[in-house]
Structure 1
Amino acid sequence: MQKNVGTMDAIMRITCGLAGLAWATSRMVKYPRRGLPVGMAMLCALRVAEGVTRFCPILHLRGKNTLDKGTGNDVGTKLRPVDTSPERT
């Protein structure tokens, strides 16, 4: 299983997944016999797992990834040099 989820994407998946799990848990405590919180909890748990393992099966099926192409580094880890030459007018 090869990584296809970048660092920022993984952090967002984990954060949103944990927030969704908290919401679903609070709803399941208040209304235990409803199906929406259970389904939401399953989807959010999937997002957390994708963020932790950094592998998304949907991206894999589509043949895409959120990593930087060519170098294997994550998008956003490269810094471009700033042009500080005095010749700019």
Structure 2
Amino acid sequence: MKPNIGIVNSMIRITAGLSMLTYLTIRGARHENSSSHPLLIILSALKVAEGIVRFCPLTAVYEDMAAETDGIEESWQQDIPHNQ
């Protein structure tokens, strides 16, 4: 995996992920009858992991889709045979 996010972006992801994890942990500890949503905990842990390894899968997919070949955009034309 080649890093596809910068240092500042990775630090922001680590900070935001740890902040979200802290908030969700405190929220879950204070309200015993309502637990924190597990999906939010997983998403915040993923943000921390993305910051540590400096690789974001969504950014990689976006860069692959946005890449042009030889500077020319390919069209979605269908090859329909013409009867003459």
Larger helix share, 1 or 2: 2
RMSD: 1.8
Alpha carbons of structure 1 residues 35 and 58: separation in structure 2 relative to 1, 3 Å: farther
Q: TM-score, structure 1 length as denominator?
A: 0.63
**Runs of 4+ with deviation above 4 angstroms:** none
Q: TM-score, structure 2 length as denominator?
A: 0.67
CA contact (8 A) 1:28 1:37 kept: no
**Alpha-carbon shift at residue 20 of structure 1 (Å):** 0.4
Please name the residue that 2:5 is paired with.
Answer: 5
Corresponding residue pairs, total: 64
Which protein has the larger Cα radius of gyration, Structure 1 or Structure 2?
A: 2
Alpha carbons of structure 1 residues 56 and 14: separation in structure 2 relative to 1, 3 Å: same
Please name the residue that 2:39 is paired with.
Answer: 39
